[in-house]
Amino acid sequence: MTTTVATTASNATAASSSSQFLSPVVLGLQALTINGKQAHWHVRGANFIGVHEFLDTVVANAGGWADEVAERIVALGLPIDARVQRVAEKVSNTGAPAGFAQSTDVIKGIISDMDAVIVDLDAAIEGLDETDLVSQDVVIGIKAGIEKDRWFLFAHIAE
C-alpha cells in the first residue's frame, strides 16, 4: 500500500518558502474585503452611487483573489491561518472609517488598503521568482487586477 501526501519532501521547502510570501497577501486581501464592505455601507456625498456600487466590485475581487491565493497555499500542502484575529494583527486601522464618511475619505482609505496589499504582492513577486513560478504567476495576475480597481477608485478623486 502506498501513502499519498500533499507535497513531496523535496517540495516541502519550496512550499514553505512560497507560503511565507503568499500568506501576507491573503491577509491583506481579506482585510480589503472587510474594509471595502464597511466603506460600501457608509459612503456618503459626491459620486455616492458610483463609489457605493464599485466598492462591491472591489470586495468581490479581493475576496476572490484571497480565495485563489489561499487555495494555492493549501494546494502546496500547507495550511493558511486567515481567521479574523490574524487579519486584524496584519493590518492597521487606516482603511475604511468606522461610520459614515464622505466618498473622498472612503476612497482614500480603501486606496491605502490596496497600496498595502500591493506592497505584499510586490514582495511575493520578487520572492517567488526563484522558487515557485506558478504562485508568482497567480500573484502577478492579482496585482494587475488590484491596480485596475485602484485606478477606477482613484479616478473619482483625481483632479
The reply to whether 50 falls in a domain is yes
Could you give the C-alpha distances from 113 to 37, 50, 59, 125, 159, in angstroms and in order?
Answer: 13, 19, 12, 19, 21
The reply to whether 87 falls in a domain is yes
CATH of the domain at 22: 1.20.1260.10
6: pLDDT confidence band, cut at 50, 70 and 90? low
What's the domain count of the chain?
1
pLDDT above 70 coverage of the chain, percent:
92
Contact 121, 106 (CB under 8 A): no
pLDDT score of 15: 86
In which residue are the cell numbers 513560478 written?
A: 133
Average pLDDT of the chain is 91
Q: Does 126 score more than 90 pLDDT?
A: yes
Domain that holds residue 91: 12-154
The reply to whether 159 falls in a domain is no
pLDDT tens-digit map of 99-115: 999 999 999 999 999 99
Instruction: Provide the 10 A C-beta neighbour count for residue 93.
Output: 10
pLDDT tens-digit map of 35-86: 999 999 999 998 899 999 999 999 999 999 999 999 999 999 999 999 999 9
User: Pick the residue with more confidence: 4 or 95?
Assistant: 95
pLDDT score of 31: 95
d(CA 96, CA 112): 9
Instruction: Provide the 10 A C-beta neighbour count for residue 152.
Output: 14
User: Pick the residue with more confidence: 47 or 123?
Assistant: 123
